[in-house]
């Protein structure tokens, strides 16, 4: 059966914030240490301690923003431990993640250097769980104050004359859980207090992000918006895609069709979460000033056998590619409210873009989806009207297709389509309104094996290729998508 879809290229729905393509790097497992940071003396080629191969790969994605230092780690992190000569930096225990020694060699200066090399915005998450108001206030002063002050002087002594530009600042992380086990009323008051002393110095204006809800905790959003909405620019939301359950997770590899279906179903749940959290935000903020910041999302599986369970190292298959494509389409389609999203995490942790082993590196299927989708950044979101066919497994049905479209400044139109079904292809007729394209090109990511993934021995098993399944006929675009595929089309 062929499904019909209308693409209105002349009905723009607002700009897709590039920060939807954001990332997250935590002091967790081998994300920062080994994955990004190897130190200046490493045999692995590096720039000021940051590994060159990973940098070169990440540069291909035009990463807009990077969140650091956590995560749960953020509410245990004391920034003063991570500045000054490396040999005197405090060696602490990373109690939350594997109980390993954290030598603090990667700190504020190193993070800003990483962002500079990636040409991305820094997004720092401050410590409200175990840190003081003074500590948070002084961190902002250290980073952004240009005048004469104890913190600005200290920064200069440590080699950074000019203040850095810092816009995005989080006031705590998961404060309902690892960030202090607080009630929303209590956190809302603390948020109001801590953010007061996180000052705007000179023309550096902070975009302050309050720690938001866990998945479908709508009461958290309600209380935060009611009690502290006017003091924030963004409110976060964390939701991971976890086949099985939180208590009984599954492995990244070795899944069956049932589990594939469940993963797709759980990915689509993000649409409901955003819709319902947004509805609460609309009540208190009808102008949609406050952004919904989905600063942790992605798959969460059991750690690979034989690895430290506290390191959250997992493989990444075609299934993860679909999860990424679905989420990015959903974020884009909600781009009026969703101002940022950060995949968890950048390297070697959870749904990573890159996996490393010693001096080797591989790009995951998720990396490739980000590379294919990056054409959407900063574009006008377009309206797509259609009723998706159903994808049925046993007694259950979900939508088979996930779609999003945008138009860039030069008038090119991009359509990203995911076929969620593991068994059925999808035939589409897209009625293009407001434009008469003469050419369609595309890229596809798919594989005949649902569990296909890249390894250090075979790093290109899952990689994008040119897509030849689309054709323009009398103003209609006809295309056929194989099962389990992610396609991005360009119309011009
Ligand atoms: O991304 C891993 C962890 O998941 C983060 O540290 C925490 O915020 C969330 O629970």
Query: Structure pTM?
Result: 0.97
Mean pLDDT, residues 73-79: 97
C-alpha distance from residue 199 to each of 119, 158, 160, 203, 242 (Å):
24, 22, 20, 11, 38
Residue 121 neighbours by CB distance under 10 Å: 20
Lookup: tokens for 155: 């920064």
Lookup: tokens for 260: 């594939």
Q: Which of 430, 427, 423, 446 is nearest to 389 (CA)?
A: 427
CA of 72 to the centre of ligand 1 (A): 6
pLDDT above 70 as % of the chain: 100
Instruction: Decide if 174 is catalytic.
Output: yes
Lookup: tokens for 272: 């409901």
Residue 420 neighbours by CB distance under 10 Å: 28
234 membership: H or E segment, kind and range: strand 234-241
Residue 245 neighbours by CB distance under 10 Å: 8
Summary mean pLDDT of the chain? 97
C-alpha distance from residue 207 to each of 235, 267, 403 (Å):
11, 28, 30
* Interval 4-23: pLDDT, tens: 899 999 989 999 999 999 99
* Residue located nearest, by CA, to atom 4 of ligand 1: 71
Mean pLDDT, residues 308-318: 97
Task: List phi, psi (to 5°) of 118.
Answer: -85, -10
Contacts of 157 (CB under 8 A, 6+ apart): none
Instruction: Point out the ligand 1 atom lying closest to the alpha carbon of residue 173.
Output: 8
Asked whether 340 and 294 are in contact (CB, 8 A), the reply is yes
Residue whose tokens read 């431990």? 81
Q: Which of 238, 242, 293, 312 to mutate to test the pocket of ligand 1 (most atoms within 8 A of CB)?
A: 238
Instruction: Point out the ligand 1 atom lying closest to the alpha carbon of residue 350.
Output: 1
52 membership: H or E segment, kind and range: helix 52-59
Q: Which of 407, 270, 282, 281 is nearest to 331 (CA)?
A: 270
Asked whether 365 and 445 are in contact (CB, 8 A), the reply is yes
Give residues (CB < 6 A) around ligand 1.
26, 70-72, 173-174, 296, 344-345, 350
Task: List phi, psi (to 5°) of 185.
Answer: -65, -40
Contacts of 486 (CB under 8 A, 6+ apart): 321, 322, 324, 325, 369, 372, 416, 417, 418, 444, 445, 446
* Interval 154-197: pLDDT, tens: 999 999 999 999 999 999 999 999 999 999 999 999 999 999 99
Burial (CB count <10 Å: 0-12, 13-18, 19+), residue 35: buried
CA of 141 to the centre of ligand 1 (A): 27
Asked whether 107 and 88 are in contact (CB, 8 A), the reply is no
Mean pLDDT, residues 456-464: 98
Judged against a pLDDT cut of 90, whether residue 333 lies above it is answered with: yes
Q: Which of 246, 311, 341, 344 to mutate to test the pocket of ligand 1 (most atoms within 8 A of CB)?
A: 344
Instruction: Decide if 161 is catalytic.
Output: no
Q: Which of 386, 416, 232 is nearest to 321 (CA)?
A: 416
Judged against a pLDDT cut of 80, whether residue 362 lies above it is answered with: yes
Q: Which of 433, 430, 419, 412 is nearest to 471 (CA)?
A: 430
DSSP 268: H
What dihedral do alpha carbons 453, 457, 461, 465 form, nearest 10°? 130
Position 387 scores a pLDDT of 85
Q: Which of 180, 175, 192 is nearest to 228 (CA)?
A: 192
CA distance 228 to 236: 13
Question: Which residue of the set 138, 174, 262, 380 is catalytic?
Answer: 174
Strands 22-24 and 338-344: parallel
* Residue located nearest, by CA, to atom 8 of ligand 1: 71
Position 345 scores a pLDDT of 97
* Interval 120-153: pLDDT, tens: 999 999 999 999 999 999 999 999 999 999 999 9
CA of 240 to the centre of ligand 1 (A): 9
Instruction: Point out the ligand 1 atom lying closest to the alpha carbon of residue 96.
Output: 6
Position 303 scores a pLDDT of 97
Asked whether 78 and 108 are in contact (CB, 8 A), the reply is no
* Residue located nearest, by CA, to atom 3 of ligand 1: 71
The total number of residues written for the chain in this structure: 492
CA distance 35 to 42: 13
Mean pLDDT, residues 410-433: 96
Q: Which of 178, 309, 351 to mutate to test the pocket of ligand 1 (most atoms within 8 A of CB)?
A: 178
Lookup: tokens for 85: 């000569």
CA distance 94 to 386: 49
Helix crossing, 108-118 with 133-144: angle to 10°? Answer: 50
Instruction: Point out the ligand 1 atom lying closest to the alpha carbon of residue 73.
Output: 6
CA of 173 to the centre of ligand 1 (A): 9
C-alpha distance from residue 213 to each of 247, 298, 326, 357 (Å):
19, 16, 21, 35
pLDDT confidence band for 1 (50 / 70 / 90): low
Mean pLDDT, residues 415-422: 98
* Residue located nearest, by CA, to atom 2 of ligand 1: 71
* Interval 36-74: pLDDT, tens: 999 999 999 999 999 999 999 999 999 999 999 999 999
Q: Which of 239, 293, 296, 311 to mutate to test the pocket of ligand 1 (most atoms within 8 A of CB)?
A: 296
């Amino acid at each position: 059966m062929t499904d019909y879809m209308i693409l209105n290229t002349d009905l723009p729905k607002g700009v897709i914030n590039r920060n939807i393509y954001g990332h997250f790097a935590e002091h967790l497992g081998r994300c920062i240490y080994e994955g990004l940071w190897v130190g200046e003396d490493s045999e692995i080629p590096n720039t000021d301690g940051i590994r060159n191969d990973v940098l070169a790969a990440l540069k291909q994605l035009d990463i807009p923003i990077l969140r650091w230092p956590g995560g749960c780690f953020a509410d245990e992190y004391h920034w003063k431990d991570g500045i000054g000569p490396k040999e005197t930096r405090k060696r602490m225990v990373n109690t939350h993640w594997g109980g390993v020694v954290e030598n603090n060699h990667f700190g504020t200066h190193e993070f800003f250097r990483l962002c500079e090399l990636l040409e991305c915005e820094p997004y720092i998450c401050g410590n409200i769980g175990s840190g003081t108001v003074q500590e948070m206030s002084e961190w902002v002063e250290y980073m952004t104050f240009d005048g004469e002050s104890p913190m600005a002087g200290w920064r200069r002594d440590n080699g950074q004359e000019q203040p850095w530009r810092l816009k995005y600042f989080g006031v705590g992380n998961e404060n309902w859980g690892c960030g202090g086990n607080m009630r929303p009323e209590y956190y809302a008051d603390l948020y109001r207090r801590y953010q007061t002393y996180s000052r705007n110095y000179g023309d550096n204006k902070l975009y302050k992000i309050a720690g938001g809800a866990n998945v479908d905790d709508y009461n958290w959003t309600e209380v935060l918006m009611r009690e502290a909405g006017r003091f924030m620019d963004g409110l976060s939301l964390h939701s991971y895609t976890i086949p099985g359950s939180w208590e009984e997770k599954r492995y990244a590899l070795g899944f069956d069709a049932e589990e594939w279906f469940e993963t797709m179903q759980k990915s689509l749940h993000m649409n409901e979460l955003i819709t319902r959290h947004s509805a609460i935000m609309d009540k208190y903020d009808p102008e949609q000033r406050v952004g919904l910041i989905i600063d942790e999302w992605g798959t969460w599986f059991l750690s690979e056998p034989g690895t430290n369970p506290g390191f959250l190292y997992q493989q990444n298959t075609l299934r993860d590619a679909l999860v990424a494509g679905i989420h990015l389409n959903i974020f884009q389609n909600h781009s009026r409210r969703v101002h940022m999203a950060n995949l968890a995490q950048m390297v070697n942790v959870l749904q990573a873009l890159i996996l490393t082993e010693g001096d080797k590196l591989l790009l995951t299927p998720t990396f490739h989806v980000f590379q294919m989708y990056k054409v959407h950044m900063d574009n006008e979101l377009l309206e797509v009207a259609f009723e998706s066919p159903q994808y049925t497994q046993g007694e259950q049905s979900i939508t088979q297709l996930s779609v999003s479209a945008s138009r860039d400044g030069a008038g090119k139109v991009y359509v990203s389509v995911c076929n969620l079904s593991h068994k059925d292809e999808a035939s589409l007729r897209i009625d293009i309104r407001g434009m008469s394209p003469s050419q369609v090109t595309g890229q596809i990511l798919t594989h005949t094996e649902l569990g296909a993934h890249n390894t250090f021995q075979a790093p290109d098993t899952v990689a994008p290729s040119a897509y030849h399944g689309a054709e323009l006929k009398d103003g209609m675009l006809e295309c056929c998508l194989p099962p389990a595929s992610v396609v991005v089309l360009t119309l011009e």
